[in-house]
Structure 1
Amino acid sequence: MTGTDVPHDQSARRPLVALLTGAGISTDSGIPDYRGPNGLWRRDPEAEKLVTYDAYMADPEVRRRSWLMRQKSPAFRAQPNAAHEAVAALERSGTPVRVITQNVDGLHQLAGVPARKVLELHGTVRAVTCTRCHARSSMREALDRVAAGEPDPACLVCGGILKSATVMFGERLDPQVLGTALGVAKAADVFLAVGTTLQVQPAASLAGVAAEHGARLIIVNADPTPYDALAAEVIREPIGSALPPLLARLGQPV
């Protein structure tokens, strides 16, 4: 997706709907969040080291444990839930839709949202990248190599260290992806923050940017967020039951 994909036709009958989605939209698919009361980082603080760039690059044992963790990741077995399906249905309805996601599970695309309309702020768990030559390949291929007996598979192109194509702790977000997300937030007529605490920057600031540029801000999250006061509507109901009727309403022509 590029900046040119953001619709600016003010005569369009349907508003541009942008969604910022966080871990909460995927919990119904069996993917636990990381920072909640039962989140992975609270249950196993050592697990955070496995996705910290400096530790990963410096220690082969950390990389070995990281590959074992990926083998067990629920993301590869997960299927889109009613919330993901509702977003895809909105896009199919003809409404201009852009998804900005903090998730790395790829479930928006699996549900049918075109990949060019999904901005993955934190990358994707479904691919790996070489830290030396930046060659990219599938996560499945890398995990098959681990299963075949390679505890720390190296890049097949240059022999460099492979890592998940996710943004690890200590890494910067892709500036192009972030810049496009900022453009989407500024252009949106309606901006929904779904299943995100809106506490992790710079992603959280997109909600404020959207509101400042005139978007109707709607927050769908179980707990209060720092941006609730800016929202035109705050919904505390479960995402899987609240989002489908909400998006169906937004998809009606005006």
Structure 2
Amino acid sequence: MIVNQIGEARTALHELIEQSENIVAFTGAGISTECGVPDFRSKDSPWLRYKPIEFDLFMSDVLMREEAWRRKFALDDIYSMAQPGRGHYALANLVRQGKMSSIITQNIDNLHQLSGVDDEHIIELHGNGTYATCLSCGLRHEIADVRRAFEASGAAPECRSCGGPVKSATISFGQAMPEEAMQKAHKATQACDLFLAIGSSLVVYPAAAFPLLATQNQARLVILNGEPTPLDSEADLVLRGDIGDILEPFAS
């Protein structure tokens, strides 16, 4: 069933949430656009101007590492001050109530954490852009420290511990998905009875496979997005509209 009216959408979602005991959310860029974080596919998206450097190029060419950091900081200047929106707070409230066990997210903006959700309930499939890691030893590096050093020298940052290449703690194109996060997401999806796919185009795999996994395990699937997705026909309920408007009542 596809619902376009906001009142109907809120009512239908409320009924499913009340009937459920273990909800898992799966979030994409659409939940953060009202916060000022650009999505990837809009016509004027800054991601099109500052395209991510593929992982193999990052690793093989120091000039590409420098360019990757230039693009990273340009994007940070656009949205690094973003704060959680109504959708983030709605999910945080469901976690707090014990209705939602996990939030699986494709986003790298840290907004679920800022909304008050503990790390134990958040599974980041594409990493986190608010810090960096050494690709050799795994040491965490704070973005502010990396930026100061980069702007002073223009050189691609190296680990202060082992000298290895330092990269934003995000998953680049061509980089292996994080095994632990994928396992956690798989386990959470199999255990839920309601799977909420929110603000995702559901075209990026393997992440987009989780909604189907949920239905295979008899969970109900709700897709909340501003545009149609390839999995709409598999959903028990499709809510088409503004994510913040629909989720706002669930934030308190």
CA distance in 2, matches of 1:25, 1:51: 25
Aligned to 1:171: 175
Q: Deviations over 1:161-210 (max 9, x none)?
A: 11111111111111121011011111111100000011111111100010
CA distance in 2, matches of 1:32, 1:237: 18
Aligned to 2:29: 23
Q: CA deviation at 1:77?
A: 1.1
Does the Cα contact within 8 Å between 1:126 and 1:140 map onto a contact in 2?
no
Residue 51 of structure 1: SS of its match in structure 2? coil
Residue 146 of structure 2: SS of its match in structure 1? helix
The answer on 1:148 being equivalent to 2:152 is: yes
More relative contact order in 1 or in 2 (CA 8 Å, sep 6+)? 2
Aligned to 2:73: 71
| TM-score, normalising length: structure 1 | 0.85
Where do 1:1-254 residues align within 5 Å? Answer: 15-41=21-47, 43-44=48-49, 47-48=50-51, 50-72=52-74, 73=76, 74-245=78-249, 247=250
Residue 153 of structure 2: SS of its match in structure 1? coil
CA distance in 1, matches of 2:27, 2:154: 35
Does the Cα contact within 8 Å between 1:145 and 1:153 map onto a contact in 2?
yes
Does the Cα contact within 8 Å between 2:66 and 2:154 map onto a contact in 1?
no
Does the Cα contact within 8 Å between 2:25 and 2:100 map onto a contact in 1?
no
Q: CA deviation at 1:148?
A: 3.4
Residue 148 of structure 1: SS of its match in structure 2? helix
| TM-score, normalising length: structure 2 | 0.86
Q: CA deviation at 1:70?
A: 2.1
CA distance in 1, matches of 2:58, 2:79: 21
Question: Over aligned residue pairs, what C-alpha RMSD do you find?
Answer: 1.9
CA separation of 1:77 and 1:151: change in aligned 2, threshold 3 A? farther
Q: What residue ranges of structure 2 are gaps of 5+ in the alignment?
A: 1-18
Q: What residue ranges of structure 1 are gaps of 5+ in the alignment?
A: 1-12
Q: CA deviation at 1:97?
A: 2.7
Residue 116 of structure 1: SS of its match in structure 2? helix
CA distance in 1, matches of 2:56, 2:209: 27
Q: CA deviation at 1:150?
A: 4.5
CA distance in 2, matches of 1:174, 1:212: 23
